[in-house]
Chain A
């Protein structure tokens, strides 16, 4: 197995951990808020899941940079100008800033969790589209905003069905 394959597999493992973490954070959040408050056990589950997400993020960013370096070293710098790659970076940046806003309560939990949940799925899908035909950056970001709005209303609909007020 060559170096590129090892880095790629590591990157995918990291991405899977992130996606799994983001999914379970949303599930645990909705489950814990059904009775209106988060008890210590639920908080402990949430903390563990957030840790898994952070580990996954660290693995995928570290290996992602490795992939970029491999392209750079092999004189495939044109791959770094792929709009999908830059859309991925932009969304990753939005998620990280969103987390800071959520911590400082600058953004409501219902908006913040929807941004985080939808964005991680969108980044994951973009990762698979990267090997396909190129899409313009603005188009990808437009799809992202539309998905974000739809995702928010779907999540709110599910919460309403479960009787959760956020």
Chain B
């Protein structure tokens, strides 16, 4: 395994872990009966967005390496496990970055009002869960794709 690939995999998996951790930390602060301060929620959602964006960029580098240099195919296929993993990875990368951006914008614009309106509350919670689970999945995909 080349040093370049080791570096990309390490950076990508740790960024995915950090993104997932910030999404989770945001959810803890947001869902708590005594919610975290508006400043703390803004910071956590911003950090989750930034980490997920960096995961997206590093993930594309990684995919580019697999597809461009190693010639892997990215499509949903039951018979070829690696192609499916790459396919899922490429779906998740923009999804968590988008989830991070939407949460960040909602919290930035609405602040504590986001907790009071049921629709916004449910949307933010669902996106937070998506970011948390998606980040964890990307972390595993980063190391599992051979």
Contact = CB atoms under 8 A, between A and B. Distances in A.
- Interface on chain A toward B: helix, strand, loop, or mixed SS? helix
A108 interface: no
A65 B139 contact: yes
Interface residues of B, number: 21
A99 B24 CA distance: 10
Interface stretch (B7-15, B48-56, B72-80, B95-103): B7-15
Contacts, number: 39
A157 B72 CA distance: 57
A72 B10 CA distance: 10
- Interface on chain B toward A: helix, strand, loop, or mixed SS? helix
A69 B32 contact: no
B21 A100 contact: no
Nearest to B6: A73
B28 A100 contact: yes
Contacts of A68: 13, 143
Interface string B80-118: 000000000000000000000000000000000000000
Interface in A92-147: 93, 96, 99-100, 103-105
Interface of A: 58, 61-62, 65, 68-69, 72-73, 75, 77, 80, 89, 93, 96, 99-100, 103-105
6 contacts: A68-B13, A68-B143, A80-B143, A80-B144, A96-B24, A96-B132
Interface of B: 1, 6, 9-10, 13-14, 17, 21, 24, 27-28, 31-33, 132, 136, 139-140, 143-144, 146
The 7 closest A-B pairs by CB, nearest first: A72-B143, A104-B31, A103-B32, A103-B31, A68-B143, A73-B6, A65-B17
